[in-house]
Amino acid sequence: MEVLMWMFVTFLIFVVAVVAAVVLIGRALYRRLRRNRALAGTALRTRAGFSRGPQRKVLFLRVRLAETLDSGQAAVELAGHSEGPRGELPRLFRRIQEESVALDLQLRLLESETDSAVLAAELPAAGRRVDQVAALVRRLRSAVASGLAGSTDDSLTTLHSDVDREVAALHAGVQELHRLNRRDERFEPTRPPSATAAVVRDKGIRP
């Protein structure tokens, strides 16, 4: 009986350890998925596609907000990798992100709202806020695009000048080589008669 009791206790400990491990692994995976913007965006779009009613509109607002922030983040990262001026763009985008976090929390709260009248009243205001964020990100992207275009134009102009200079130098070198070859052919000295020809000539001259 005592052996069975110990076996039962051991089995319970094993089950508790397995359950705890599964819970910890599940939480870690959930946190990792939440931190991954691509996976989080895919999950959000999937939910929006399968939702119905006012919640569907709220979810699509969240999708638009997330995609807008992703495009802004991509622009700021490109500006950081380029040699053009960055200015206050990273700091301004961080402010946009902070406001967007608060806006996404409001949208998540609306998503859980069950009163259709409240949703109908709040949705237009939420849509206007998302529009404002989208407009700010568009202006930020335009600033980044202008900086990249200016840097690219200057670089391409310099590169075009360098290529023209090298092509002109190569052409001049080829022309000089042709000119030297023609001069060598024109002033090539006459070869002296060979020894055999001289002997034959001498034999012909002798009586």
Longest dimension (CA), the chain: 147
pLDDT of residue 124: 92
Among 43, 45, 23, residue whose Cα is nearest residue 33? 43
Contacts of 151 (CB under 8 A, 6+ apart): 82, 83, 84
Structure tokens at 163: 């290529």
d(CA 34, CA 71): 18
pLDDT tens series, the chain, 207 aa? 667 778 777 888 888 888 888 887 877 665 665 555 556 656 666 766 666 667 788 888 988 999 999 999 988 888 776 555 556 788 889 999 999 999 999 998 988 888 888 888 889 999 999 999 999 999 999 888 877 766 555 666 676 676 777 777 777 777 777 777 777 666 555 555 555 554 445 545 444
Q: Quote the tokens at residue 57.
A: 């509109």
Amino acid 132: pLDDT: 94
Q: Which residues contact 75 (CB under 8 A, 6 or more apart)?
A: 137, 140, 141, 144, 145
Planar angle of CA 73, 75, 78, nearest 5 degrees: 110
What are the residue ranges spanned by the domains of the chain?
Answer: 18-50, 53-174
Torsion, CA 51, CA 53, CA 55, CA 60, rounded to 10: 70
One-letter amino acid for residue 26 of the chain: G
